[in-house]
Amino acid sequence: MSGTRDRGKEPITDIDRLIHEPARFLIMAHLYVVEAADFLFLQRQTNLTWGNLSSHISKLEDAGYVHVEKSFKGKKPHTMVRLTEGGRAAFERYRESMQAALDNIPG
Amino acid sequence: MAEHVNLKEIERSVRARYHNDGITLIVAGLSLIFLAVFFYDHRQAWATTFAVGVWAWLAESLRRRLIYPRLGYAKLPTKQNPLTIVLAIGAVISVFVGAMFLERLNISFAGPIYWGAVLAVAALVIAVASRSKIACALAPVFLLSGGGGAMLARLGVCCAESYQLAALGAILITIGSGQLVLLRRRYPEPASEALNERD
């Protein structure tokens, strides 16, 4: 996003569409307030199905926003997800952009 | 899908989910019963109070076995304010110095009232800090228990504080168990097929 533009005049097209999708936004918001969380926790908090959650996490992982760590607890697979530094920065940028865009709407 | 977009609200709901799992109340109740049993042996009472690590370990072990397989696990950021830690340690030491001072005065009914008041204040602090309705409801119960214990002491019952703390411990364990049962019914353990599906 351009730093030379006035904050309030940034075009809405600058908003990160990857985070803008509601399910991914919820996932990012939850990961933003915790250090790390497992798949089950995210599923309980967001009410997404396993498949849906898995697909959104994969998209976020491909973008480098989250780091996925797979392991086994006994015989059960255990997947921990955490925001990367880039993901945290992208979420903060997204918040600022949205705030600026919404503040600009005459009410 | 939940419509929460307020990050503070999300953080509060994440913390509340773990704090309202019943484990905290069960462990607090067990520690009160332990304190009640050894009430008149100061060394044991001090050891019980300062063995916070043991209670924390017990709570974490119970959560790992009973809660995380159903609710999932999230590593919460630790906010350790040094001033808060110093204040908490100072408060615990003051409580025990006060208890020893009261014992020297040798007034039988003062002990139960003192412990009731101390626990009520602790419950109020927790209620304000975590916005816990249960802690808020427990504060007057703790305060009233002081009156009950004082009545027992006036009637000549020996170790009134022990009965008072044991009763309060039993109340906490009962409420905590209720919370735990409700939570386990609400969140059944996911089937192993689902666990494998995500990978």
Per-residue model confidence as pLDDT tens digits over B177-187: 999 999 889 88
Task: Tell me which residue of B85, B68, B78, B80 sits closest to B18, measured CA to CA.
Answer: B68
- For B197, residues 6+ apart whose C-beta sits below 8 A from its C-beta are A50, A51, A54
| B59-88 mean pLDDT | 84
Q: Is B191 on the interface with A (CB under 8 A)?
A: no
| B residues 59-88 lying closer than 8 A (beta carbon) to A | 68-77
Contact between residue A21 and residue B60 where contact means Cβ atoms under 8 Å apart: no
Q: Residue B9 CB: number of other CB atoms within 10 A?
A: 13
Chain B residues with CB under 8 Å of A72 CB are none
Q: What is the pLDDT of residues B149-166, one digit of tens each?
A: 888 888 887 778 888 889
Condensed to tens digits (0 to 9), the pLDDT of residues B96-152 reads 788 778 777 777 778 888 889 999 999 998 888 877 888 899 999 999 998 888 888
Q: Structural domains in chain A?
A: 16-100 (1.10.10.10)
pLDDT value, residue A10 = 56
Which residues of chain A are modeled with pLDDT < 50?
1-4
Query: Most A CBs within 10 Å: which of B13, B70, B73, B183, as the mutation test of the A interface?
Result: B73
* Predicted local distance difference test score (pLDDT) of residue A83: 94
Q: Is A48 left (phi over 0), alpha (psi -120 to 50) or beta?
A: beta
For B:85-124, CB contacts with A below 8 A are: none
Mean pLDDT (chain B) is 81
Distance from CA of B59 to the nearest CA of A (A): 19
CA distance readout (Å), B118 to A82, B49, B111, B124, B161: 40, 14, 11, 10, 13
